[in-house]
Structure 1
């Protein structure tokens, strides 16, 4: 009889521990940070902002829009279709190509981007941070800044209609 009482008490303790553990897991997961999702318009605006802030670091100009914040289809991490934006602008170069590439690389690093600079025909490449990627090239006779946003939920065809409508 005493053995049955100990077994019941042990079972009750085990059930209590399981219930408390489940409650703790539920509470902790409810508090875990969720990655904020931008709207397509916020994603577009952020891409344009990074391009324009990058331009301000250079004495080159005037800047021409080659491909202005154009919506494109992309694939979200869950496999569904989303939208990203690409922006490309160019200008007449200055004489300090490598200095300009390094200045831009330093700025992009402050945005949390991983950056590398190629010194032959100086070019800065970046990924991460607020964008999927960006590049600054100093091809002969032309500076070019290109950027693409991260993929966010949205419909590229509908957003393209906003541009033409």
Structure 2
């Protein structure tokens, strides 16, 4: 049974600096718009900025688990269409990493809960056939999940960014072309190099 008072002696890896840098960038941007509402503050960053935040969150989350071999089985971070609060169309990035299933499911789920709550996210744990699935909303991303019973007996950590200004179709087209020219972007390092020019194949 997972509880919020899970023993603090449990070994955890310290959060990496990637998300910290993203959070610092967000803080600086928000300081320049102190008179705006919280909804307006989220839109200060464009979709590509939020891509970096969601990728950092997923990678940093995997660092809290004693599991190796993480890969982007469904390709690199990808944008999808969403609706901004003002009714305009925007873009939100989603990203996930997969690895062979660990053995300490409840302890791993608790580590995720504690990490995500430290980022200001609201979490809940749902039993899924004996496996504790963690769902979270808010904080640096729109929502995230840790699934210890993903396909083919694997762990999966995934998240989707807040909706932000941007055109999902144009973003895909532009970054596909840039990848073909040899550029690489956050999260691409988890995609096999032979598949990098076809990063959306498995969606």
The TM tier, using the shorter chain, reads: 0.7 to 0.9
- 1:162 Cα deviation after fit: 2.2
1:154 and 2:157 are equivalent in the alignment: no
| 4+ residue runs over 6 A deviation | none
- CA offset digits 1:36-83 (Å, max 9, x no partner): 311211100000000010010011120010232101000000111000
- 1:163 Cα deviation after fit: 2.7
50, 56, 63: which one aligns with 1:49: 56
Q: Distance in 1 between matches of 2:62 and 2:174?
A: 26
137, 143, 147: which one aligns with 2:147: 137
Which structure's residues are more often strand, by fraction? 1
User: Aligned residues, how many?
Assistant: 136
When the two structures are superposed, what TM-score results if normalisation uses the length of structure 2?
Answer: 0.63
Q: Distance in 2 between matches of 1:126 and 1:61?
A: 23
Are 1:61 and 1:93, in contact at CA under 8 Å, matched by a contact in 2? no
Larger radius of gyration: 1
- 1:31 Cα deviation after fit: 6.8
Runs of 5+ consecutive residues of structure 1 not aligned to the other structure: 1-29
Which structure's residues are more often helix, by fraction? 1
When the two structures are superposed, what TM-score results if normalisation uses the length of structure 1?
Answer: 0.77
CA RMSD of aligned residues (A): 1.6
